Amino acid sequence: MKKEKELTRGQPITFRIPSDTPNHILKHLQSLKESERRNFSSKIAEFTLRGVNDEISIQKETITIPLPNRLNKAQRDWLKHEQSEALLGSIVYQLLSDPIKTVSLLTSLNSGATYTYEQNDEIAAAKLEWKPIPSENISGEDDTRDVRGIDIDDFTWESEQEIEQTKHKNEKEDLDDLLGDFLAQMNK
């Protein structure tokens, strides 16, 4: 027996239109041939590949996801590798199995979760609410109460910065734990 040649990209394939093809399909093919002219075979190949892809999707558990932008050649080549498909499949599976964790990780990565101290100070200043203090002492006496319970003489900027740094470290550790959990799930 003679071994048949394998199919390769760019190889022409010829086929016969089946004799039981309905007239409306023949008319559509004829109009497509007239409108596409030289690109008719490319259009038929596109239809054929779409049909084969749908058949594979039925056999395997695959989904089609529209992308927001067109891919360049390097990105399309990357997608053709089995490892890339496996990685993307694993990511989508994780998204579907634990969407809250995955979305929170994605938003933290997209937000550029590297805050600077100036940004933290601006955020803290924006969240600070000033509440009016009821005036109990209407007479002209000098009121020396400390509103926040902190003596102004004991206040130092260094202690305030240390508090902010520990808050920042805790946020960073939480993000690292979340990323580590996600990657551990991916490696299973």
The tens-digit pLDDT sequence of the chain (188 residues) is 567 788 888 888 888 888 888 888 889 889 989 998 888 888 888 888 888 887 877 777 777 778 778 888 888 888 878 788 888 888 888 888 887 887 787 787 777 655 444 455 555 556 656 666 666 555 555 545 445 566 666 667 777 777 777 776 666 666 666 666 766 676 66
Please give the Cα distance from 95 to 105 (Å, whole number): 10
CB atoms within 10 A of CB 28: 11
Q: What's this model's pTM, rounded to 2 decimal places?
A: 0.33
24 and 100 in a single domain? The answer is no
20 and 97 in a single domain? The answer is no
3-state helix, strand, coil in the chain (%, to 5): 60, 0, 40
110 and 48 in a single domain? The answer is no
Query: Is there a contact between 30 and 40 (Cβ–Cβ < 8 Å)?
Result: no
Do the domain assignments include residue 155?
A: no
115 and 77 in a single domain? The answer is yes
- Give the total number of structural domains in the chain: 2
The pLDDT of residue 116: 42
56 and 76 in a single domain? The answer is no
Query: Is there a contact between 186 and 91 (Cβ–Cβ < 8 Å)?
Result: yes
Rounded to 10 degrees, what is the CA torsion of 121, 124, 125, 130? Answer: -150
17 and 107 in a single domain? The answer is no
Do the domain assignments include residue 154?
A: no
Structural domain of 101: 72-123+160-188
Query: Is there a contact between 176 and 109 (Cβ–Cβ < 8 Å)?
Result: no
22 and 89 in a single domain? The answer is no
82 and 110 in a single domain? The answer is yes
117 and 166 in a single domain? The answer is yes
